Amino acid sequence: MGDSVEPVIVVRDDVPRVTGLRRSSRDPTPSTKAREATLNTNNRPTATKRITKPNPRTGSTDGRHNTKDGGGRDEEEEEGPEGEEFGRLGDDGRSQARDRRAAAEEDLTAEQMMQAIVKEIQRQRRESRKQLEEARQQHEETRQQLKEAREHFQEYKRQMEEEVRRMGDEVKGMREKLENIEKSLALTHTNSTSPQASYAEIARTPPTSQPSNVRTLSSGNTTPSTLTDTLFCTVDLSRVDEVDKDKVTAGTVRAAIETEMRARKNEPKWRCKAVTRDARTATRIRIVCRDEGEQKTVKQVAETVRLADGVRVLRDEWFPVKVDYIKSAAVVDDKGKELPGAAEALGLENDTTVAKIRWLSGREGQDEEALLEVCQKLDNLLRDGRGAEGRAMQVVIVGDFNRHDHLWGGDNVTPARQGEADPIIDLMSEHSLQSTLPRGTITWEARHQRQTDSTIDLEAAKYLGAEERSTFDKLPHLTRADGTQTSTVEEQAGELLSTFFPPLPDAIEEEGQRPQRSPVEMPEVTFQEIETQLFRMKPWKAPGADGLPLMVWRQVWPAVKDRVLVLFRASIREGVLPQQWRHAKIVPLKKPGKPNYTVAKAWRPISLLSTLGKVLEAVIAERISWAVEEFGLLPTNHFGARKRRSAEQALMVLQEFIYKAWRNRQVVSLVSFDVKGAYNGVCKERLLQRLAARGIPLRLVRWIDAFCSGRTASIEFNGYGSEERDLPQAGLPQGSPLSPVLFLFFNADLVQHRIGADGGAIAFVDDYTAWVTGPTAKANREGIQSIVNEALAWGRRSGATFETDKTAIIHFSRNKERLDDDDAFTVGGQTVRPQTQVKILGVVMDQQLRFKQQVANAATKGLKAAMALRRLRGLAPLTARRLFTSAVAPVMDYASNIWRYSCGTTLIQQLNRVQRIASQAIIGTLRTVALAVAEAEAGIFPLQQRLTRRATRFWITLNTLPDNHPLARVRTNMKKRFASPLQRIAADHEAIAMDELEQIRPFALSPWEERLELLEDEKTTETMEKGRWWNQTVVITSASVKNGTVGIGAVIRPSLSASLVGTLATVAVTLGDREKQNLFTAELAAIHRALEALPESLKYGNIAILSRNKAAVLAASKPHQQSGQADIQRIYEKASKLRKAGNTISIGWITPDADPELMQAAKRAAQRSANPSSPPTKRPYRAASTTLAIAMRTQKHSWSIPAGVGKYSKTIDAALPGKHTRELYDPLTAAQAKVLAQLRTGMARLNGYLHQIKAVPG
């Protein structure tokens, strides 16, 4: 095929060129689709097949191309099979056939090609027409939209004009009303000389007669309301969370109402008449309606539209009408009740319906704007006064703020009123002020109380508030039982001692025969026990009469330890105590919250004892506590003064059984007792009998007898110290570490009740609570009376008495029909009536377990602590945050797992006040900073997250309790009806794996079991040196985590006396998954496996265990209630066997570079064992510490600032919240931290100053 001329359309090699389509200048170039169509049409086999010669000639002798008709074909062609057939016809026939065939093929190819081109042109024409039609339709739609937009604009313009006219009419009407009011006031002024008619005259006039000489109240002294002619629906936003308040505005309310109303009334152009905010209460939005029918419909729509959580529609409002210059006697009686006929008379005179008449005092009503204005003025005055140079100013503010809060009003203030005094609290917090009125003072006029304190007096406070400082106030002269008062300090001392140590009753009933338990065997006191208690107790606690604090004994311990050991052993063996150990120096302290401190029982005796004697008491208390937990000497429902038992656990047991009874449609009736003078009133003889009966060794019983006998005391107060006096009935001294556990034995018989479906009991030291269940409160009456009778009988046998005024009875139920009994009970000859709420172990529990009062009390305590923290000016952020964590948050969060699920938005806001003030105290943020941003900057967890973390700790601790614990037997499956807080905690932590979780007992070892000797740092280095001691065996342990698998390794270097000297024994064990174990528990397991690998033939050697994990070293040497307890017990089991063979065992911490060879060998063994493909030899337990760490890490990652809050701070620091904020603030001083916080939050005092000098518009 030639290559000199390009073909126009190539179909096949044998298709001739179509010259009819050629232009004179260039060849036509068909479209791609045309070429495809042509190829598809002609791509078929032909009868004649031409094959081009492989070597065609490219030119002739004259230099021109040798072609035929310019087609580029060769002259000589090879004929096919059909050519052979034509060859038989002769030359002429063959030539004619060839000509006819070529012409036919040329005509056929041209016709097909033209048809394809025509079809393509027609298709393109159709597409063009279609596109043109679509463009025409789009143009028409655009023109229609413009027309509709123009109509909408005209309608909007018409509505605006109508709205302007309506507003003009309203303004005109308001102007007319104001003119009428002005005329009415002028008329009143003109008639002021006429006799004034009292409301009593109107009230006494019969409703059917017109009173003479009396003007209607509406024309005279009535303050008319401008809202009486306006119908509206009120939407209240006070319960909306702070995060959602910005989303619910007057505009969003209007849009939601109009959308729903248009759909309901089928009026697409319906609009609200007006939507405004209440001028008095900014959290209320009013939707103005045109008539009563529209008001009813709008109210129904507002109740169905969901705007945000907490939005509510208020009921129909009664419009207030204020009447001045009326005496209270004309309206209400002496008890504050409305006089009969008063409302009817007032309604008849004013042609309206009067629903209620309420007497208002002479004080002004609550005005938020006025309160803010007053607080702002006081703030400016205090800043100006304190800012003056050379001036010392004492601030005292006296006035009636007309606001109430738990901070000064106490429990008399309802929880619903919490928050109304926030501006006052902010002022107090900013300037370190405190209320001088005792908490609980009535500062309002009640119906039954006409003369009350009516002011909130504030003064500048020191760190401790008035109530805290009052604990150390001077003792006043005391009032005796006969009404006389003491006049000298000697009489005061005698009154206090006689009250603190009352004599026992004359007749104490016998207990009769008691079952006796065999005594628990205990060895002699060891040196290790004494040293442990000496260094565990606080070194600077107040000493006794000898004046020696524990720090003195710590300092001289190496010199006197042997003599002290001999002294302690002789004291227990002989059952005697030195006289100075039985003498108490008593200091009276105020009991908090008492109304009258001129009576001796309002003070609590604190016994200051000899510190060395207290060490021996602590040793004996530890031994008795171990016997209690190991042998079950006390009831399982006895809480307090016991390890791994807390007041929150006791409350959870009680609450869980209350919810269980509710699910069974029953009522729980509860009675709570308080023993009078619990410790000091203990009968020694009964205590000794009960100790022996429950298995305490007789040697200790004899020592306790001496401990309680022959005691003396002196009392100190107001700088006076009395002489030493004998105490015939001393009981148990308050302040001794032995007294709490001994009291558990004293009242154990009272608490010995099985907790079941019909009732149960719990006790926390001297607080005893019992309950019964039944269908109604009346059905439980007999059971409660039976509990009371049993308690009184126990008191007669024990020489104890109950304080009747502290005995409380309550019926728990959320069905009021079942609370059918409100009659009083008889307790010790006195009547006790059931209450609606009682305080049990510091938590206020109401009948329905709503905990509103408890949350209010927690908020008040936390607020007082936070304000005291803020008074400490100049604290560095690190110190202030630690104080918040240790002194403020625990006060507020006490027993939060009991009441946290009852907290709604309103109660949470009360607690968040503490968070806000604490943030200000830590880094100095301003009050206007969003709470979430302030918490993130201060580095403290939000309230809800902190409570969630407490719940997580509680849940994991609960799952590690031993089987004999009451909570360990409680089922936590979620119930649909009355889901308890414990069940909700379990549901919230379903994602936390609890399978195979370890069990942690109160005692890992007995107190006297020999502990591993803890090596000092310098001795550890010496131990690593080869050949230091000929019989020294060194064990190096290590742990490693690789690909989620924990492995342990150990290297054992034999002693010089061993036959394998110079060789190293290696231990490598795969422990398990990282989700179950951690490096701490792995190190403990490594120590245990290394001790097991030691040869049994090892005798009389010194074994030194060395590890890089300091926490594991300390835990192994001083075990307590902690994770990894099972491994610690295995370590001591093996250590005990090694000691029997004459070996000594010590343990120490080493640095990684102490001995590179040994450390690297142990490390390689641990890394080799941390192989996921190598299964553990023994299925490991799930460590509680690992489970807690994973849960806390997950919760910490969920901490975030809500969307739409803190946009400026997020722009400055996109990583908020995070621990990096602590790194920013902790190195700074208080002044520097305050500046940084204001810069990072965009809220600074500079902004207010710039606005004040008009440098910025706002």
620 vs 284, more confident: 620
Retrieve residue 1079's tokens: 């490096």
- What are the phi and psi torsion angles at 368 (to 5°)? -60, -45
H/E element, 695: none
Retrieve residue 1237's tokens: 């916080």
CA proximity to 964, closest of 767, 755, 769: 755
pLDDT of 352 > 70? The answer is no
pLDDT classification of 449: cutoffs 50, 70, 90: very low
In a domain, 809, yes or no: yes
pLDDT of 143 > 90? The answer is no
In a domain, 55, yes or no: yes
Q: Quick one: how far is CA 523 from the chain centroid?
A: 47
What is the average per-residue pLDDT within 722-734? 90
Task: Determine the Cα–Cα distance for residues 183 and 189; give it in Å rounded to an integer.
Answer: 10
Task: Determine the Cα–Cα distance for residues 263 and 276; give it in Å rounded to an integer.
Answer: 23
Give just the sign of the alpha carbon dihedral 784, 785, 790, 792: positive
In a domain, 123, yes or no: yes
Q: How many domains does the chain have?
A: 4
pLDDT classification of 310: cutoffs 50, 70, 90: confident
What is the average per-residue pLDDT within 1054-1083? 80
The 3 state secondary structure assigned to 240-307 is CCHHHHCCCCHHHHHHHHHHHHHHHHCCCCCCCCEEEECCCCCCEEEEEECCHHHHHHHHHHHHHCCC
The last residue of one of the domains, among 826, 845, 864, is 845
Q: How many CA atoms lie within 13 A of 427 on its CB side?
A: 25
Residue type, 329: A
Please provide the DSSP assignment of 763-802 as one string.
EETTEEEEEEEESSTTTTHHHHHHHHHHHHHHHHHHT--B
In this structure, what DSSP letter does residue 830 have?
A: E
**pLDDT of the residue at 792:** 94
Percent of residues, the chain, with pLDDT higher than 70: 77
Judged by phi (left if over 0) then psi (alpha if -120 to 50, else beta), residue 473 lies in: beta
**pLDDT of the residue at 115:** 85
Give just the sign of the alpha carbon dihedral 1057, 1059, 1063, 1067: negative
Same domain, 758 and 795: yes
Judge whether 982 and 898 are in contact, CB under 8 Å.
no
Segment 1019-1032, tens digit of pLDDT: 666 666 554 556 68
pLDDT of 997 > 70? The answer is yes
CA distances from 279 to 205, 273, 284, 931 (A): 38, 18, 9, 26
423 vs 7, more confident: 423
Retrieve residue 873's tokens: 């000016």
In this structure, what DSSP letter does residue 196 have?
A: P
Q: Where are the alpha helices (DSSP H) in 769-904?
A: 781-798, 852-870, 877-883, 889-893, 896-899
Number of Cβ within a 10 Å radius of residue 1025: 12
In this structure, what DSSP letter does residue 1214 have?
A: T
Which residue range is the domain that position 1100 belongs to? Answer: 1013-1181
Please provide the DSSP assignment of 696-722 as one string.
--HHHHHHHHHHHSS-EEEEEETTEEP
Same domain, 897 and 1023: no
Judge whether 859 and 913 are in contact, CB under 8 Å.
yes
Segment 790-820, tens digit of pLDDT: 999 999 999 998 888 889 999 999 998 899 8
pLDDT of 594 > 50? The answer is yes
Same domain, 825 and 858: no
What is the average per-residue pLDDT within 709-730? 92
5 vs 526, more confident: 526
Strand partners, 760: 771
Segment 205-228, tens digit of pLDDT: 443 333 333 333 333 344 444 444
CA proximity to 804, closest of 788, 787, 780: 788
Task: Determine the Cα–Cα distance for residues 150 and 139; give it in Å rounded to an integer.
Answer: 17
In a domain, 797, yes or no: yes
Judge whether 8 and 18 are in contact, CB under 8 Å.
yes
Segment 397-448, tens digit of pLDDT: 777 777 777 777 776 676 666 677 788 888 887 777 877 777 666 665 544 3
Task: Determine the Cα–Cα distance for residues 232 and 1086; give it in Å rounded to an integer.
Answer: 76
What is the average per-residue pLDDT within 56-72? 40
Q: How many CA atoms lie within 13 A of 1001 on its CB side?
A: 20
Look at the pTM and tell me if it is higher than 0.75: no
Same domain, 953 and 1063: no
CA proximity to 1142, closest of 1099, 1092, 1102, 1098: 1099
**pLDDT of the residue at 888:** 94
Same domain, 1099 and 1127: yes
Give the CATH number for residue 1170: 3.30.420.10
**pLDDT of the residue at 1252:** 67
Retrieve residue 522's tokens: 């205990």
Give the SS3 label for residue 381: helix
Mean pLDDT of the chain: 80
Segment 898-912, tens digit of pLDDT: 999 988 877 888 899
Rg (CA), the chain: 47
The last residue of one of the domains, among 1181, 1203, 1238, is 1181
Task: Determine the Cα–Cα distance for residues 650 and 664; give it in Å rounded to an integer.
Answer: 22
**pLDDT of the residue at 1003:** 94
Please provide the DSSP assignment of 1099-1142 as one string.
-S-EEEEEES-HHHHHHHHS--S-TTHHHHHHHHHHHHHHHHTT
What is the average per-residue pLDDT within 305-323? 72
Give the SS3 label for residue 11: coil
**pLDDT of the residue at 519:** 94
Retrieve residue 9's tokens: 């359309």
pLDDT classification of 890: cutoffs 50, 70, 90: very high
857 vs 472, more confident: 857
Same domain, 805 and 909: no
Same domain, 993 and 1053: no
Task: Determine the Cα–Cα distance for residues 840 and 673; give it in Å rounded to an integer.
Answer: 10
pLDDT classification of 1063: cutoffs 50, 70, 90: low
Same domain, 697 and 571: yes
pLDDT classification of 774: cutoffs 50, 70, 90: very high
Strand partners, 338: 332
Same domain, 77 and 64: yes
Judged by phi (left if over 0) then psi (alpha if -120 to 50, else beta), residue 217 lies in: alpha
Same domain, 1073 and 1201: no
Judge whether 1196 and 1218 are in contact, CB under 8 Å.
no
Percent of residues, the chain, with pLDDT higher than 90: 41
Query: Which residues have C-beta within 8 Å of that of residue 1064, sequence separation ≥ 6?
Result: 1051, 1052, 1053, 1158, 1161
Task: Determine the Cα–Cα distance for residues 1258 and 1255; give it in Å rounded to an integer.
Answer: 9
Task: Determine the Cα–Cα distance for residues 337 and 350; give it in Å rounded to an integer.
Answer: 22
Retrieve residue 112's tokens: 């097909």
pLDDT classification of 1244: cutoffs 50, 70, 90: confident
Query: Which residues have C-beta within 8 Å of that of residue 719, sequence separation ≥ 6?
Result: none
In a domain, 908, yes or no: yes
pLDDT of 76 > 70? The answer is no
In a domain, 392, yes or no: no
The last residue of one of the domains, among 845, 875, 909, is 845
pLDDT of 883 > 80? The answer is yes
Strand partners, 721: 716
Buried b (16+ CB within 10 A) or exposed e, 1166-1179: bbbbbeeeeebeee
Residue with tokens 């109950």: 802
In a domain, 1074, yes or no: yes
pLDDT classification of 977: cutoffs 50, 70, 90: confident
**pLDDT of the residue at 330:** 66
Q: Measured in Å, how far apart are the chain's first and last C-alpha atoms?
A: 89
Same domain, 1116 and 1064: yes
Task: Determine the Cα–Cα distance for residues 412 and 408; give it in Å rounded to an integer.
Answer: 10
Please count the residues of the chain. Answer: 1258
Segment 651-667, tens digit of pLDDT: 999 999 999 999 999 99
Retrieve residue 991's tokens: 């994602």
Judge whether 695 and 631 are in contact, CB under 8 Å.
yes
Task: Determine the Cα–Cα distance for residues 178 and 191; give it in Å rounded to an integer.
Answer: 20
Task: Determine the Cα–Cα distance for residues 295 and 302; give it in Å rounded to an integer.
Answer: 10
Judged by phi (left if over 0) then psi (alpha if -120 to 50, else beta), residue 1175 lies in: beta
Least confident interval from 258-262, 630-634, 948-952, 1053-1057: 1053-1057
CA distances from 1131 to 476, 951, 1127, 1136, 1145 (A): 59, 33, 6, 9, 11
In a domain, 339, yes or no: no
Same domain, 792 and 897: no
